[in-house]
Chains A and B, each alone.
Chain A
Amino acid sequence: MVPLSAYVAVSAVLFITGLLGVLIRRNFIIVLMAVEIMLNAANINLVAFSHYLESMAGQLVALFVIAIAAGEAAVGLAIIIVVFRGKISTNVDEMNVLKW
């Protein structure tokens, strides 16, 4: 029997990897992929607690997370296409038009 803390530890490692990816990568598409890693880490956590605490609510929330990840990917990639059309760059450091 695998303890719950093992699943939570895997989820924590994945989340921190994704967070690190958001912070240190410079390519916008890779940053979005790192966000997907973090959403997956949250999903592992939700499903693990749903199993060990014997409730279906965690799995339902994980389903909603997947739906929202799909929307986020669609809108994010559309924004990338718009930016790429104008500046021919997907480097997050060069996207500073909205900077105050």
Chain B
Amino acid sequence: MIPVFFAYFALMSMAAAVLTVALRNPVHCGLALLALLLHVSGLFVLLNAEFLWAVQVVVYAGAILVLYLFVLMLLNLKTDERYFHNTYLYFLIPTVFGSLYVLALLFKSPYAGAKGDAPAAIVLQEGDTYAVGMKMFSDYLLQFEIVGVFLLGAIIGAIVLAKTPKPIDAERE
């Protein structure tokens, strides 16, 4: 059963990615991106990462994508007449050949590596959220704090950038 679900999520996410890049209307691109994010979250469930599934749905599909759609509708974009670069064939053809080569390399690789300390049986005992929390607040506490400070900086930066600028004359008085 798992291979069937994997095939569905993989094919749908690849199709949604292609649509995101290829569609003409920016709002349709945003909706295709939503389909991509939801199907990628399905792949996370297949990999026993339920916490990441929830974060993907809540943060990515719920917050980031709404921000994109909000800005798209705020700006009221008109569809561009020529929406690709004029020279896009120079990028497209080498990319297709290069990606075929990369895929051939990927399928030949054995992926040997040292096993970590969290086999699936132990993770499933307590749940993925518990495992992620224990790891994050012990070994990765510093990184967690850094990400918090980074997000604060991003929020302040976004507000300062998007604020309506005051006219210069009003500031002088």
Contact = CB atoms under 8 A, between A and B. Distances in A.
- Verify that A and B bind, or say they do not: yes
B117 to A, nearest CB: 7
A10 B120 CA distance: 22
Contacts of A1: 2-3
Interface in B61-82: 63-64, 67-68, 71-72, 74-75, 77, 80, 82
Given A21-B21, A51-B49, A80 B71 contact: yes
A21 B46 CA distance: 27
B136 A10 contact: no
A62 B157 contact: no
Interface string A59-87: 11011101111111111011111101000
A14 to B, nearest CB: 5
B71 A60 contact: no
A23 B72 CA distance: 20
Interface string B146-173: 0100110111011101100000000000
Interface of A: 1-2, 4-10, 12-14, 16-21, 23-27, 29-30, 32-34, 36-37, 40, 43-44, 47-57, 59-60, 62-64, 66-75, 77-82, 84, 90-91, 93
The SS class assigned to the A binding surface is helix
Contacts of A75: 154, 157-158, 161
Which 6 A-B pairs give the minimum distances between C-beta atoms?
A55-B116, A71-B154, A21-B21, A24-B88, A78-B161, A78-B158
Contacts of A84: 75
A18 B136 CA distance: 29
Contact of A55 (B6, B17, B117, B147): B117
A63 B55 contact: yes
A3 B117 CA distance: 21
Contact of B67 (A25, A27, A47, A74): A74
A6 to B, nearest CB: 7
B14 A29 contact: no
A8 B55 CA distance: 21
A81 B155 contact: no
B75 A2 contact: no
Contacts of B102: 12, 16
B47 A12 contact: no
A24 B157 CA distance: 28
Contact of B59 (A5, A30, A54, A66): A66
